[in-house]
Structure 1
């Protein structure tokens, strides 16, 4: 078995590479150790089934899963119980999962707690002082000194046991930092990062001779009500990349069509890049129809959800995000559909068309010229390359399922001729590879010359609902 290379930031570009310098892009989604596809890990009930699943993911272009060391929806998946005592069955579970991921070639974005269930099931949690734990209140999770030591001990245990492997893509030091976890002290975010981040980085360097990348994540809508938290989330100097969770109200968390969510993701990605000043990578590490699923107890119709998923991932990538974002399934059961796996594979086949380690992109969605109003346009580029995605604004009713009329609409549109003009490219000859995002294959090539301020003009025939382009020098 070949040791899996570690993941690093590209030098001078907002993307990722392996330790050997090969481009690497996070394509994947959130999973949990108690959900159907990984539940066979617990007490080693079906390790071959889990390995088959991981191989299927790899063959679908998936490179990374976002996982929580503790997913506390029930009382039998606590990593520590009582606080400070690591449960042998859970340690065995993670031993097996890391071994399988190493064998298959799958990486993990790892966060130590599922803070949602830690919060809503606080009376059961081992860290609760009422259960013998260190913390007097869930509102002090980020600021309690005694709890902080337990958090660091958990991370230390994890890296001592599993951190020598390239399976860990990065640490999400805290899932969805929120002022409510810090007595509404916004300054506590930076204090936590300044304490926990260097502790883990120094320990890993001592143990392994290098350290895994680090980020923290945030529930995206909280940035609107607490704008001061943007600084530690997007710009903290001790973090390697930035991450947010795209749960915008109405458009993403309870979608009625498949175009509005894409527009929201394009805007949210552009806004996130606007916070970043040092070319660190950015990725959405959670999104999905959470309000539809959790509050309205509704699973989106599969065909509609497949298109919603595909549109979000292309809006994220084309707007300058690293990869296609990471879906929280929010389906019953909690698994991605076959159509979503097909969409991930289609995105993965597009990636070799771009020289990511040298792509110093900026978001250019608002700067791209489009003759007529035949499509919404998303794009990012630098002086040498560009990525663009066109999405038709037309909508029609989604097909009915099981004889029921659906109040959802999907993107449609007849053919349209248009001219796309991309700014910022150095003068010279370029080739645009046209990509069918549904079929996951090239559907044409165009050549054109950029002539200074006028930009690169590409005459296109948009025959379907959407089209992706990779533009590169000849």
Structure 2
């Protein structure tokens, strides 16, 4: 089927026409990612969709050049990863298959073009095969509905129906045959927001479902490409509290390569009242996730944002507030031990990230160059940090040789519920535990300006690394590395 479509549309599958972008894999022995050339790779980006403004011009090639320029701009802002669904079901004209098994030429061409452009600009995609949110809400219209000739009678049988299972495998087989040879494909999110409601309100099928889909896709990729892309399965975060058994498959399924959840919290993230509480919640959620994981398995939040404010209250957050909310969440995510800054769902009108968030991504990307991620066997240290003042809250992760720390002012808010930029500076001492004895070099980083503000050296003793930091007003990030030279001993 794939070969016929390649001929019909006059295009080769991505990765055969323009091979060259290296694949991404989990770093051996460290919970981060590297390319197959051994270079560190950090997922920095956001969720995107085929109908949203930044990519709508690629459908039917209405404005391919505009998408090309946008991807170049993203790359220049440190973005490395875009999370996409292969179809988007909020409307009637972006299904990948219609009817089931018939892959729509315009959508196939869209993905041909997007993979090729991503290769051009060294961007990579986290792909998930179904838009399960709108598929659920608009099931009466979806081609997989048996009433429309599809395989499944009811939406609560998606994970149970054998015919639907085969359709899922067929879609993934088609996708990897056409696009899986490309290094622009970072990884597969095999199922977006797996949920008990999709299996008759039961979780018993989850492990077998993931095993079957994962094995099928991996075998197809190894047969076609000689290797396979990393795999994960995402979950709407609150489901973990309602159904604790789901954690076993999301975090510890032996066939998945990394873990991803969607950070939503009713009290903070979903409808933020300030920009600090959501950061504190993000740090807590990362710590909880890492407690479930094997130390060598990466984790990151692959969807977050003010869902209740936007979807239910029909409110777009003021841009200065949203920029700070975004910046705080990404730094809490990284410093707590997540890979990258998490992937925002825009929840804005229009549905795209504003310039302030792009600047924040670029500044985070610059900071990530200060850490040797392929050797960083981090554990969360946020609760173990010792701070000299309660005016600041801390987020941290580290191992015997490196650490990432982010300190955020929490004692004051201005009238917009932001951290005030004109508050008196605060002086802080912080003790970072877990580092081996020796001399360390600490880069102090201004997260708003995206540049270092100073450099310290200090010696770790049995009680940890005690740092006397320069005064700061809003927040400060620290990159802790062994001091270069023969005196360093971190064995």
Q: Is residue 2:441 matched to residue 1:431? A: yes
Q: Deviations over 1:64-83 (max 9, x none)?
A: 10000011110000000011
Q: C-alpha distance in 2, partners of 1:265/1:285?
A: 12
Task: Give the aligned partner of residue 291 of structure 2.
Answer: 274
**1:451 and 2:461 matched:** yes
Q: 2:81 aligns with which of 34, 45, 64?
A: 64
The answer as to 2:112 corresponding to 1:112 is: no
| Match 1:121 to one of 129, 133, 138 | 138
Which sections of structure 2, spanning at least 5 residues, go unmatched?
1-17, 484-491
Contact 1:386/1:471 (8 A) holds in 2? yes
1:397 Cα deviation after fit: 3.2
Aligned length: 465
Provide TM-score, normalisation by structure 2.
0.93
- 1:84 is matched with 101
Is 1:21 the counterpart of 2:38 in the alignment? yes
1:290 corresponding residue in structure 2: 307
Is the counterpart of residue 223 in structure 1 residue 250 in structure 2?
Answer: no
Q: Does 1:144 align with 2:161?
A: yes
**Matches for 1:72-471 after TM superposition, within 5 Å:** 72-399=89-416, 408-410=417-419, 412=421, 413-452=423-462, 454-471=463-480
TM-score normalised by structure 1 residue count: 0.97
Which stretch shifts more, 183-192 or 218-227? 183-192
CA distance in 2, matches of 1:97, 1:456: 47
SS at 1:383's partner residue?
Answer: coil
Listed as ranges, the gaps of 5+ residues in structure 1 are 400-407
> RMSD between aligned alpha carbons?
1.0
2:10 aligned partner: none
Cα distance change on mapping 1:456 and 1:370 into 2, 3 Å: same
CA contact (8 A) 1:256 1:409 kept: no
Choose from 6, 11, 21 the match for 2:28: 11
Comparing 275-284 with 123-132, which one deviates more in the overlay? 275-284
- Alpha-carbon separation, structure 1, partners of 2:234 and 2:211: 15
CA deviations over 1:370-424 (Å, ceiling 9, x no partner): 112121000000000000000000332355xxxxxxxx44455421112110111
Counterpart of 1:312 in 2: which secondary structure? Answer: helix
d(CA) in 2 for partners of 1:108 and 1:183? 31
Judged with a 3 Å threshold, the aligned counterparts in structure 2 of structure 1 residues 398 and 104 are, in CA distance, closer, same or farther, namely: farther
Aligned equivalents of 1:397, 1:444: Cα separation in 2: 27
Given that 1:61 and 1:344 are in contact with CA atoms closer than 8 Å, whether structure 2 keeps it comes out as yes
